Amino acid sequence: MDALTAARAQMTLSLAFHMVFAAVGIGLPLLIVIVEGLYLRTNESHYLALAKKWAKATGLLFAVGAVSGTALSFELGLLWPRYMEITGAVVGHVFALEGYAFFIEAIFIGLYLYGWEKLSPRVHWWCGVVIALSGAASGILVLAVNAWMQLPVGFEFDGMGQLVVTDPVAIFKRYGWFVMSLHSTLACYVAVAFAVAGVYATAWLRGRRDDYTRSAIRVALAVGAVTALLQPISGDLLAKFVFQTQPAKFAAMEGQFRTQTYAPLRVGGWPDEEAAETKWAIEIPGGLSFLAAHDVSAEVPGLDRVERADRPNVELTHGAFQLMVGLGMLLMIVSIWFWVRHWRLRREPATSLDSPWLLRALVLCGPMGFIALEAGWIVTEVGRQPWVINGVMRTEEAVTSAQGVEQVFYGFAVLYLLLAGTVIFLLRRLAGSGADAGDVVAPQEMSAHGEVRA
């Protein structure tokens, strides 16, 4: 394994691992704010129990995410020094702002976890709001750097070849940053919401049929349904932006080999680069032209306009894009199914979860949001190749010339395996500890701060 392959494999593993924890840091605090708010409004103890349980999970996963994020920061400097030379100069301050958001989130997680009896109920709830906002801000700021990698702006090279920063906030003025941030943030909310719903749907199928479990499913799917319905809109906006700014990526996503008008929208299929066609796809005539430009006769540039050396991996990009879209549609359909059933049975809400098929669908959908999130990341990153900074620096030019990159990759792989094993063990312990009996008590037995009265 050469240095470039090992470095790319290490970044793939690291980012795929860290992304799960980053998504949880964005999505789970929102659910906590909702259930604690419901507790303050209704004084129903199962909402308090959910807030306490999910807060413990957030603290655990935040700690592991901090470790994997720290590892990532070292990897960027050690493996990609030439990339960091440009990136640090142009958008290094954005990384610094993300660090501020991270520290704010860490501080308020501490206040939240240890402030149940120390803070007033509303102040405690507002601490949760800060966690939710700072977690989202952290992700949005990271997306600013990624958006800059897709569309580098705010700098130039002088006559001596030296980099000169012309506008340190240029990326925030670009529409692409907004749509990327919107799409990614919604994806995190979708992934976490359906994962939570899947966990508690499993508990319901196993006989845990109480207000605690029912409320967890409903709150998760309230967030999951709203964000799943908004996601296709944000995805459409992002796809149009990619069409306008990254035609090679757009063509790879859609398996579009020929430049043509009335370009068909392809559902499924597998690209064959040698034959220059996407085989076995269901084609909707004019669909791709319409989605790209709101005109069925619009010309869509194909990969025939891109030199082979400048093409991304078409098979991987197209396959990941189809997987992301397909899973997104599945999650949207299941969320509609749940809420239509809930609305029809609104006079007997306790029966809305009596459908074993719906519950099995929720269990099946549990990991699908995270799979779609990872697939979307593959589309974003692989679709930009062979450029690490689009049009400025190729990936092969950015990698370190140092020796031993392959051994470092194996070492980090072991680290992530140990972290994953630790997380699974601790989450199982946390699930087994139960908010079940310990945290759920009668409302009249509680003080306003959630303390159990003697």
What are the tokens at 269? 């299929």
Residue 451 has pLDDT above 60, yes or no: no
User: What would the DSSP string read from start to end of 169-224?
Assistant: TGGGGSHHHHHHHHHHHHHHHHHHHHHHHHHHHHHHHTT--SHHHHHHHHHHHHHH
Neighbours of 37 (CB within 10 A): 16
Which is more confident, 241 or 445?
Answer: 241
Largest separation between any pair of C-alpha atoms in the chain:
77
Question: Does the pLDDT of residue 124 top 50, yes or no?
Answer: yes
Lowest model confidence (mean pLDDT) among 112-121, 233-242, 398-407 = 398-407
- Give the pLDDT confidence score for residue 444 in this predicted structure: 39
CB atoms within 10 A of CB 190: 32
pLDDT digits (tens, 9 = 90+) for 359-376: 999 999 999 999 999 999
Report the pLDDT value the prediction gives residue 167, as an integer from 0 to 100. 93
Q: Quick one: pLDDT at residue 350?
A: 63
> Distance between CA atoms of 116 and 451, rounded to whole angstroms?
8
What pLDDT score was predicted for residue 443? 39
Question: In this predicted model, what pLDDT tens digit does every residue of 161-184 receive, in sequence order?
Answer: 788 999 999 999 999 899 999 999
Span 259-292, pLDDT tens digits: 999 999 999 999 999 999 999 999 999 999 999 9
Helix (H, G, I), strand (E, B) or coil at 313: coil
The confidence band for 427, taking pLDDT boundaries of 50, 70 and 90, is confident
Across 138-166, average pLDDT = 90
Q: How confident is the model at residue 436 (pLDDT cuts 50, 70, 90)?
A: very low
pLDDT band at 434 (very low <50, low <70, confident <90, very high): low
Average pLDDT over residues 303-332: 95
Runs of H (alpha helix) within 246-286: 247-254
Model-level pTM?
0.92
Percent of the chain that is helix, strand, coil (3-state, to 5): 70, 5, 20
Which of 72-81, 102-111, 188-197 shows the lowest per-residue confidence on average (mean pLDDT)? 72-81
Q: Give the per-residue pLDDT at 347.
A: 65
pLDDT at residue 404 is higher than 90: no
pLDDT band at 74 (very low <50, low <70, confident <90, very high): confident
Q: How far apart are CA 276 and CA 257, in angstroms?
A: 6
Mean pLDDT of 115-143: 95
Structure confidence at residue 343 (pLDDT) = 87
Report d(CA 48, CA 38) in Å as an integer: 8
Question: Rounded mean pLDDT of the chain?
Answer: 90
pLDDT at 454 over 50: no
Which pLDDT tens digit goes with each residue over 214-244? 999 999 999 999 999 999 999 999 999 999 9
Q: CA angle at residue 18 from 13 to 22, to 5 degrees?
A: 155
* Count of CB atoms situated within 10 Å of the CB of 4: 16
